[in-house]
Amino acid sequence: MSLVLEAETCRTILESLPSGLYIVDRERRILLWNDGAERITGYLRQEVIGRRCQQDLLMHCDERHNLLCDECCPLLGTIHDGSPREVEVFLRHKTGETVPVCVRVSPVRDADGAIVGAVQVFDIRSALAETPSCAGPEVLDRTDDVETGQVESRLAAALEGSRPGGRPPAVISISLDQLELVRQSHGSLAAAALLRAVGHTLAHSLHPGDAAGRGAADGLVAVLVDCPPEAVRPVADRIRRILGMVAVPWWGDRLATTVTVGAALARSGDSAEGLFSRSAEALAAGVLGGGDRVEIA
């Protein structure tokens, strides 16, 4: 017996997929929004169905903050020419976090072959995907926890596991340049929300096996367990740009900040404490230099 799927059955299957998926008409009005899209973006179906995706929703952009919702929108391009597209972009989570995603777009056609809309499927990716990395455990996210013991333990294990000729771990320390201004103008809850969003963005921008946690004075730290020496600066600078995309909605306003990054690559005989210290020194030099930059120890 052949399997015949009714329209409602197909809709149920699409809505339950773990990947994010949404369907738009030719005006990019959202017609379907599945479970995966809710999980990845934070927006529920009832918040987006009927809205145009370019109306201050996901705000797709590249890592240099260039918005893709107009001429460069992959959905719009596919609706116009019918060609499938696959691109790596960043979207803005409902909380304001920046989420790196891989986007695949295909046209939706009617019975006569005319394009009536498009479907977009998207999944979270590593924002550092082009940087070589070995497989490891999932990223350790302790950015909501002022206790840094687990992050330090992961660094100590990486140092212990470093072998001659292998790639040593690196530490980056991060300062949110405008956090105190946000605290003064919007209050401590607003500052905490911005710190949380930047921290989570940091964590889901890293490779498997890396770790992110809280640093000193409302800062953040990340452990890169397998970073090539020549990639430390480009990776740190890319993280600086990605974290600068975070924009937290707050009573009709958007809270954002630039960030300063200090990085240190492990040397022979380094301890976890010494590596964190050198990274913090590089961060301090960057802050003194005016912020929104990368310094390498």
Question: What average pLDDT score do residues 100-111 get?
Answer: 95
273-283 pLDDT, tens digit each: 999 999 999 99
Give pTM, 2 decimals: 0.85
Question: What average pLDDT score do residues 21-40 get?
Answer: 96
Q: What pLDDT sits at residue 5? A: 63
Q: What pLDDT sits at residue 133? A: 46
Burial tier of 156 (Cβ tally within 10 Å: 0-12, 13-18, 19+): middle
Q: Is the pLDDT of residue 128 over 80?
A: no
Cα(227)–Cα(111) distance, rounded to whole angstroms? 51
pLDDT band at 119 (very low <50, low <70, confident <90, very high): very high
On whether residue 61 sits in a domain, the answer given is: yes
Strands (E), 65-159: 85-92, 98-109, 115-124, 140-142
Q: Among 60, 95, 124, which residue terminates a domain?
A: 124
Structure-model confidence comparison of residues 5 and 225, the more confident one: 225
Percent of the chain with pLDDT over 90: 72
CATH (domain of 194): 3.30.70.270
Amino acid at 207: H
Same domain, 172 and 207: yes
Q: Which pair of structure tokens corresponds to residue 95?
A: 């909380």
Q: Among 90, 124, 158, which residue terminates a domain?
A: 124
Q: What pLDDT sits at residue 295? A: 98
Same domain, 44 and 89: yes
* Candidate ranges 10-19, 24-33, 66-75; pick with highest mean pLDDT: 24-33
Q: Is the pLDDT of residue 135 over 50?
A: no
Q: What pLDDT sits at residue 57? A: 83
On whether residue 144 sits in a domain, the answer given is: yes
Cα 45 vs. chain centroid, distance in angstroms? 22
Question: What average pLDDT score do residues 198-203 get?
Answer: 96
Q: Which pair of structure tokens corresponds to residue 251?
A: 């009573």
188 dihedral zone (left: phi>0; alpha: psi -120 to 50; beta): alpha
Amino acid at 86: E
CB 263 within 8 A of CB 233: yes
pLDDT band at 2 (very low <50, low <70, confident <90, very high): low
253-266 pLDDT, tens digit each: 999 999 999 999 99
Percent of the chain with pLDDT over 70: 93
Q: Lowest-pLDDT range, 23-37, 40-54, 56-70, 196-210?
A: 56-70
Pairing type for strands 98-109 and 115-124 reads: antiparallel
Structure-model confidence comparison of residues 135 and 25, the more confident one: 25
Same domain, 144 and 120: no
- When divided into structural domains, the chain yields a total of 2
Q: Is the pLDDT of residue 250 over 60?
A: yes
Question: What average pLDDT score do residues 155-159 get?
Answer: 91
Same domain, 97 and 188: no
pLDDT band at 218 (very low <50, low <70, confident <90, very high): very high
On whether residue 132 sits in a domain, the answer given is: no
41-61 pLDDT, tens digit each: 999 999 999 999 877 788 888
Domain that holds residue 232: 140-296
pLDDT band at 108 (very low <50, low <70, confident <90, very high): very high
CATH (domain of 46): 3.30.450.20
Q: Lowest-pLDDT range, 30-44, 120-134, 142-156, 187-201?
A: 120-134
Per-chain mean pLDDT for the chain: 90
Cα 274 vs. chain centroid, distance in angstroms? 29
Same domain, 170 and 274: yes
On whether residue 158 sits in a domain, the answer given is: yes
Same domain, 180 and 96: no
Q: CA 221, 142, 201 angle in degrees (round to 5)?
A: 70
Q: What pLDDT sits at residue 66? A: 82
Same domain, 120 and 180: no
Same domain, 166 and 205: yes
On whether residue 119 sits in a domain, the answer given is: yes
Cα(134)–Cα(264) distance, rounded to whole angstroms? 20
CB 98 within 8 A of CB 90: yes
Same domain, 192 and 271: yes
On whether residue 129 sits in a domain, the answer given is: no
